[in-house]
């Protein structure tokens, strides 16, 4: 009895039929994988998180009252910053709060960042404790008196 | 049968295949880029927070802070707001209008006219805001949410509120605290009877003090019967008594006056507490009595206040998501659109305020808006 090898193409005709089909399928899979990767990269990119964090921090400050200490989970932001190869020194500077301009700036890459303003006239300082961003809210006058 | 020939295989990689892939790929890429580069709109949230901030600092337990109407208070300073963001950069805006009970404006911080286009208010055909959110609606809404047993008395509460000029929600809170809206509630017991000052009905009217007055029979049993079975009269008497308590001790109570009063509490801790009450709180304390003995509810004011806040405080209107247009006059006196704030919050609230040593009823309307756009920046 003749032995049948299912993985062996029997003649040139069948070869010419099956190879284009396989290549066609592989190319399609490749194409959609690249698209999926692009969508995933976009959704977890620095651009999105910079805006989300900047607005979130500004709104938290808007809602806050003097003498509050607020802790925000910043683990996702730190993960993205590390992925973007920010140094340890730069990691400490990913969130900047400028009380003079009432502005929160978040920068998770070397390319740029996002700024958003808060309206209360508070002195806000920020610091990182592990993956937590700690905000300290104080009245501006009190801060000035202390510094004097 | 031939499934595919050489031509068929070539068809797989035809120009149309690449065309379809390009369309699908391009569409998804453009969609994703547009979606993730779009700004997250938080302007409505900001205007809402700004409203809360301003309202919290200007209105304290239903009372307007002193000095606002006379313009001796700097709102920016008082409410911790950064002035430059409002006046120079125009990222945020607020307008405060205060009117007296006759709807006559007595204060406005800004002469600009604000025009609003209300969207999806969910109420009836373009009626005035105050008509949409009438007192009765507020009371009915509060009853529906908190205690349906009070429902039969909503109309009477509002009538008494209008007659005596007391916030209807405060009356409702008092009634809930006193009887939980049970018309046959009584504090009478074997050792605490009519003669000892037991109270009856919805507003827990003191039988010994009030029978024979306000149209009540002087006969003990008949009077009790009226207080239980005529809830309208019970509410009317309760509100009348509350109103009279606003003037207890001349509208203000001092520790000395409490010490000189025979039936009042003489414990120094409670005297200090009671002497700190003013306005509504003073009236509520007077309503419940000035004692601090075993049967006295020394936290009565706080309990009623707590219920009042739960019922929605003195919020008269709900918030509207609106489009606001703000106009101002140019050099030629023509009205021009000053700034377009696509998102704004408008709320009105009943308030009490002092004027010429008198407590008056009014309405504060606060319009807040945000037009802030975030700033993306690139490092070259």
- Convert the pLDDT of each residue in A84-109 to its tens digit: 888 888 888 899 999 889 999 999 98
B108 shares its domain with B145 = no
B147 shares its domain with B243 = yes
CB contacts, 8 Å: A35 with chain B? 24-25, 28-29
> How many structural domains compose chain B?
2
Q: Which residue in this structure is represented by tokens 């900001």?
A: B46
Chain A nearest-CA distance from B278, in A, is 26
Between the CA of residue B330 and those of A117, B92, B137, B327, B335, what are the distances in Å? Answer: 29, 21, 41, 10, 6
Is the ipTM, as predicted for this complex, more than 0.95?
no
Which of A40, A119, A140 best tests the B interface by mutation, with the highest count of B CBs <10 A?
A119
Smallest CA–CA distance from A43 into chain B, residue: B36
Regarding beta strands B113-118 and B322-329, do their DSSP bridges make them parallel or antiparallel, or are they unpaired?
Answer: antiparallel
B305 assigned to some structural domain? yes
Using a CB–CB cutoff of 8 Å, tell me whether A113 touches chain B: yes
B319 assigned to some structural domain? no
Q: Do A114 and B45 touch (CB under 8 A)?
A: no
Binning pLDDT at 50, 70 and 90, where does residue B3 land?
very low
The CATH number of whichever domain residue B292 belongs to comes to 1.10.530
Mean pLDDT rounded to a whole number for chain A: 83
Report the pLDDT averaged over residues B106-119.
74
Of B310, B331, B362, the domain-final residue = B310
Mean pLDDT rounded to a whole number for chain B: 79
pLDDT in tens, A53-81: 999 999 999 999 899 999 999 998 999 99
B182 assigned to some structural domain? yes
* B95 closest CA partner among B112, B79, B81, B80: B112
Q: Do B50 and A119 touch (CB under 8 A)?
A: yes
B228 shares its domain with B363 = no
B99 shares its domain with B213 = no
B164 shares its domain with B201 = yes
Q: Strand, coil or helix: what is B128?
A: coil
Q: Strand, coil or helix: what is A69?
A: strand
B234 shares its domain with B298 = yes
Q: Which residue in this structure is represented by tokens 């801060």?
A: A143
Q: What burial class does residue B150 get, using C-beta atoms within 10 Å of its C-beta: 0-12 exposed, 13-18 middle, 19+ buried?
A: buried
Q: Do A35 and B46 touch (CB under 8 A)?
A: no
Does pLDDT of B107 surpass 70? yes
B364 shares its domain with B305 = no
| pLDDT score at A14 | 63
B152 shares its domain with B238 = yes
Using a CB–CB cutoff of 8 Å, tell me whether B91 touches chain A: yes
Binning pLDDT at 50, 70 and 90, where does residue B274 land?
confident
Of B310, B326, B353, the domain-final residue = B310
| pLDDT score at B319 | 43
Of B295, B310, B325, the domain-final residue = B310
Using a CB–CB cutoff of 8 Å, tell me whether A52 touches chain B: yes
B158 shares its domain with B294 = yes
Q: Do B82 and A35 touch (CB under 8 A)?
A: no
Q: Do B82 and A62 touch (CB under 8 A)?
A: no
B204 shares its domain with B306 = yes
B251 shares its domain with B289 = yes
Domain carrying residue B70:
43-113+343-370
B175 shares its domain with B58 = no
Report the pLDDT averaged over residues B39-66.
87
Hey, what long-range contacts does B110-115 have (CB within 8 A, 24 or more apart)?
B111/B328, B112/B326, B112/B327, B112/B328, B112/B338, B113/B326, B113/B327, B113/B328, B113/B335, B114/B324, B114/B325, B114/B326, B114/B327, B114/B367, B115/B324, B115/B325, B115/B326, B115/B327
B121 assigned to some structural domain? no
Which of A24-33, B142-151, B287-296, B368-377 is predicted least confidently?
B142-151
Q: Strand, coil or helix: what is B101?
A: coil
B322 assigned to some structural domain? no
CB contacts, 8 Å: B378 with chain A? 111-112
Between the CA of residue B135 and those of A8, A72, B159, B166, B169, what are the distances in Å? Answer: 87, 42, 10, 11, 9
Q: Which residue in this structure is represented by tokens 């809210």?
A: A137
Binning pLDDT at 50, 70 and 90, where does residue B129 land?
very low
């Amino acid at each position: 009895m003749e032995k049948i090898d299912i993985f062996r193409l029997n003649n040139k005709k069948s070869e010419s039929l099956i190879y284009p089909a396989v290549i066609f399928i592989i190319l399609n899979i490749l194409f959609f994988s690249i698209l999926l990767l692009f969508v995933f990269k976009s959704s977890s990119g620095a651009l999105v998180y910079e805006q989300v964090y900047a607005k979130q921090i500004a709104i938290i400050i808007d809602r806050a009252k003097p003498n509050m200490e607020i802790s925000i989970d910043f683990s996702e932001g730190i993960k993205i910053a590390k992925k973007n190869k920010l140094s340890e020194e730069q990691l400490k500077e990913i969130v900047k709060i400028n009380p003079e301009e009432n502005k929160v700036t978040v920068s998770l890459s070397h390319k740029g960042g996002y700024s958003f303003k808060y309206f209360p006239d508070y002195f806000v300082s920020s610091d990182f404790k592990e993956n937590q961003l700690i905000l300290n809210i104080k009245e501006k006058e009190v801060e000035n008196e202390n510094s004097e | 049968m031939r499934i595919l020939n050489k031509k068929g295989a070539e068809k797989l990689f035809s120009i149309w295949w690449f065309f379809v892939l390009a369309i699908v790929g391009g569409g998804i890429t453009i969609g994703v880029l547009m979606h993730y580069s779009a700004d997250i709109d938080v302007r409505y949230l900001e205007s809402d927070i700004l409203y809360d901030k301003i309202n919290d600092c200007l209105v304290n337990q239903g009372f307007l802070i002193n000095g606002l109407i006379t313009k001796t208070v700097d709102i920016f300073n008082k409410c911790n707001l950064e002035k430059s963001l409002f006046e120079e950069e125009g990222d945020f805006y607020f307008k405060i209008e205060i009117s007296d009970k006759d709807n006559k404006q007595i204060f406005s911080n800004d002469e600009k006219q604000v025009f609003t286009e209300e969207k999806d208010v969910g109420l009836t055909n373009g009626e005035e805001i105050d008509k949409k959110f009438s007192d009765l609606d507020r009371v009915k809404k509060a009853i529906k949410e908190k205690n349906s047993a009070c429902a039969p008395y909503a109309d009477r509460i509002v009538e008494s509120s209008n007659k005596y000029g007391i916030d209807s929600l405060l009356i409702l809170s008092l009634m809930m605290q006193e009887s939980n809206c049970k018309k046959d509630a009584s504090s009478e017991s074997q050792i605490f009877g009519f003669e000892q000052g037991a109270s009856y009905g919805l507003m827990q009217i003191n039988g010994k003090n009030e029978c024979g007055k306000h149209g009540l029979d002087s006969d003990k049993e008949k009077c009790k019967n009226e207080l239980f079975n005529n809830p309208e009269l019970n509410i009317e008497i309760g509100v009348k008594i509350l109103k009279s308590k606003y003037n207890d001790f001349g509208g203000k109570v001092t520790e000395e006056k409490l010490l000189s009063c025979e039936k009042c509490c003489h414990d120094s801790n409670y005297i200090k507490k009671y002497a700190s009450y003013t306005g509504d709180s003073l009236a509520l304390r007077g309503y419940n009595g000035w004692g601090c003995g075993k049967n006295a509810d020394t936290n009565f004011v706080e309990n009623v206040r707590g219920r009042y806040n739960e019922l929605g405080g003195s919020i008269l209107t709900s918030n509207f998501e609106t489009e606001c247009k703000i106009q101002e006059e140019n050099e030629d006196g023509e009205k021009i659109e000053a700034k377009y704030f696509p998102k704004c919050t408008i709320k009105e609230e009943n308030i009490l305020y002092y004027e010429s040593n008198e407590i008056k009823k009014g309405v504060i309307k606060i319009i807040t808006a945000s037009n802030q756009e975030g700033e993306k920046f690139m490092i070259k």
